[in-house]
Structure 1
Amino acid sequence: MVVPRKIIVRLALFVGLTVVVTLAVIAYCQLSTPQPVALAVPSATAARISFFALGDQGTAQFDQWRVARSMENVAEKTGDLDFVILLGDNFYRDGIQSTEDRQWNWKFENMYSGTKLATIPFYSVLGNNDVRGNGEAQIQYSRDQAGSGRWQMPGHYYSKDFGLDNGHPLLRVVFVDSNNLTPENMAKQVRFIAEAFAPSATQATWRIVVAHHPIRNAGHHGETEALVSTLLPVLQKYHVDLYLAGHDHDQQLIVRDGEPYYVISGGGGQSLHMVSKGQEGLLFGKSKHGFARTVVDSSRMAIDFYDDDGKMAVRYAVRRSCREAASACLKQTMAPTTDKE
């Protein structure tokens, strides 16, 4: 079959334009030096918290830039964004080497530099590509409040409370490192999660755990068996509501009764993976660049998926008062869009 010359010319122009834009983005991100900012942290008494979550973003390529611009546009449109959660693989392919690594500028600081994104915290965990380099440098960058001061990763695992509901935290998020799966390391993190959510601790209305690797997964990498056996039981015991992960380069929402809701938001910028539609409990799955948005208040948690054009693909919500099985409590409030062929 002979391809028409017109199509070849259009394809060449598209590829050429993509290369030019990518080089322009990288040049800007390399040359601009980040300055410390006054972080706009959510009020400790906030009755409503909104955040974005995405992973596998640290490429400095055009797709990462598109997602970043989409995030900025959605934040401006909705008018509320308290923080961003980065789900790991923050720096492809081999992490960073130090707090002075130039990748900080062009894969983080200047990539997320819009009006809304420029002044909010980014809470991060390490991914498998990050630990190929110097993972400790990402932790130290946070402790030094380096660059703009937005990067938050005080340790390999940590917790953070947000908002207030009737005298107790509205939301408690526990961030863990899913790269080192040795029994000793996992035991420490399981204990940390248990202490954060134990009845003796100050109870939070909503409970979220964040890691790079998924527990349940309908994508390229499949389920992480070590996490199914070691991490899932503590999440079930302490009734964790939501488990956020990346690693697979796609968007997924998986629901299994008796387990947390699973959101995979790994479409932050790296090349995409396909989603297998036959996975048990898969409610939503797309091979798309984009991010997830979560909003919580005292009565409701909503989860939205956006693509890299800033279009919402679907929204699900769950009421805190619901006492039925997880699959019955989660309600779809917006139908998925149909991709044009």
Structure 2
Amino acid sequence: MSKVADQMGADFVLALGDNFYYKGVDSVDSPRFQDTFESVYTAKSLRVPWYVLAGNHDHAGNVKAQIEYSQKSNRWKFPSYYYELNFHIPNTGKTLTIIMLDTIMLCGNSDDYMDEKPRGPLRAVDANRQLAWLQERTGSVHGRLPAGGRPLPCVVRVRTLAPQSAFCRGFIPCLINTRPLLTSVGHDHNLQYIEESGVGYVVSGAGNFLDPDVRHWNHVPKGSVKFFTGQASTLGGFVHAEVTKNKMIVTFYQAKGTSLYRTVLSQRNFE
């Protein structure tokens, strides 16, 4: 990641869930913040803002502690369970908006090892409040990239890196009606690019585990999976994206920094 960030540029990183296996952290003073974040991503090119969301494993611990850690770190940015980011695209009059979602709060948690679907939100009032917030922000907007730690099918000089991110473990019923509002999610532990009806879905879930399982291919339209890798030989991977005035260039990398797949997404006209 540091090599690609240095060569390609990175204005920020999206860390979209499962930040601490297997049960999150218990307090803001947990040594895990140092052991698996501060002491790992030490390169100068990665000393940029890291915008964070909670995944299902984080919700097994104390998510509020991760939010509070924002006050102790210069680059860990986790202001709330869900929030909105806005970035000016250089040399244009345009803004890139990223909608950061807590998909566990929306849909509930699940057991990875049982490959079960989420059991529904723990508190319906919290789920409904977030959904209303999301719908209010995605009603009639161009250039918005919703991102969350639970699948569906972002990573900017504005440039971004996404290691373990929320960008698809099949289409979850409670989120299905939000498509194509949600364009980047990832719970599958692999790298995928899915394209359906002109919408690109980026799966960047190879920051820790690798899973070559392709059973979920049957849950997306035939021919929509344009790229997939979950092979152990890649040693994991991540996504880099660059946003310009009218397009987003998305590149999938394996751990050693070798490019695996690249695609260009043009700005869609919703009018």
- What is the TM-score normalised by the length of structure 1? 0.63
Which of 23, 27, 52 is equivalent to 1:98? Answer: 27
Give 1:154's aligned residue.
79
Secondary structure in 2 matching 1:255: strand
Letter paired with 2:101: V
Distance 2:59 2:103 in 1: 11
Task: Give the superposition deviation at 1:193.
Answer: 1.9
> Are 2:200 and 1:268 equivalent residues in the alignment?
no
2:150 to 204, 213, 222: 213
Q: Tell me which moved more, 121-130 or 188-197.
A: 188-197
Offset at residue 194 of structure 1 (A):
2.5
Distance in 1 separating the partners of 2:243 and 2:60: 35
Q: 1:85 to 1:284 in 2, by over 3 A?
A: same
How much does 1:164 deviate?
Answer: 4.0
TM superposition shift of 1:185: 2.5
Structure 2 counterpart of 1:295: 242
Gap runs ≥5 in structure 1:
1-70, 325-341
Map 1:257-336 to 2 at 5 A.
257=197, 260-276=199-215, 279-280=220-221, 281-288=224-231, 289-320=236-267
Tell me the SS of whatever aligns to 1:156. Answer: coil
Aligned length: 233
What secondary structure is seen at the aligned counterpart in 1 of 2:261?
strand
RMSD, matched Cα: 2.4
Q: 2:43 aligns with which of 97, 114, 127?
A: 114
2:131 & 2:48 partners in 1: Cα distance? Answer: 29
Match of 1:88 in 2: 17
Structure whose CA Rg is larger: 1
Alignment equivalent of 2:195, drawn from 255, 273, 276: 255
Q: CA deviation at 1:72?
A: 0.4
Which structure: greater helix fraction? 1
Once residues 297 and 167 of structure 1 are traced to their aligned partners in structure 2, the CA distance between those partners, rounded to angstroms, is 8
Per-residue CA deviations over 1:194-241 (Å, capped at 9, x if unaligned) read 332344xxx5x5210110011249x7x433221114x33xxx4xxx4x
Task: Spell out the pairing of 1:1-341 with structure 2 (5 A cutoff).
Answer: 71-78=1-8, 80-117=9-46, 119-142=47-70, 144=71, 146-147=72-73, 149-164=74-89, 169-180=94-105, 181=107, 182=121, 183-199=124-140, 205-216=142-153, 221-229=169-177, 231-232=178-179, 236=180, 240=181, 243-257=183-197, 260-276=199-215, 279-280=220-221, 281-288=224-231, 289-320=236-267
Which runs of structure 1 show a deviation greater than 6 angstroms over 4 or more consecutive aligned residues?
none
Q: Decide whether aligned partners of structure 1 residues 82 and 94 sit closer, same or farther in structure 2, where only a CA change above 3 A counts.
A: same
With normalisation by structure 2, the TM-score equals 0.78
For the residue of structure 1 that corresponds to 2:243, the secondary structure is strand
Letter of the structure 1 residue corresponding to residue 10 of structure 2: L
Instruction: Give how far 1:169 is off.
Output: 4.3
Could you list the runs of 5+ residues in structure 2 that have no partner in the other structure? 108-120, 154-165
- Indicate conservation of the 8 Å contact 1:97/1:134, yes or no: yes
Cα distance, 1:140–1:246 mapped onto 2, change above 3 Å: same
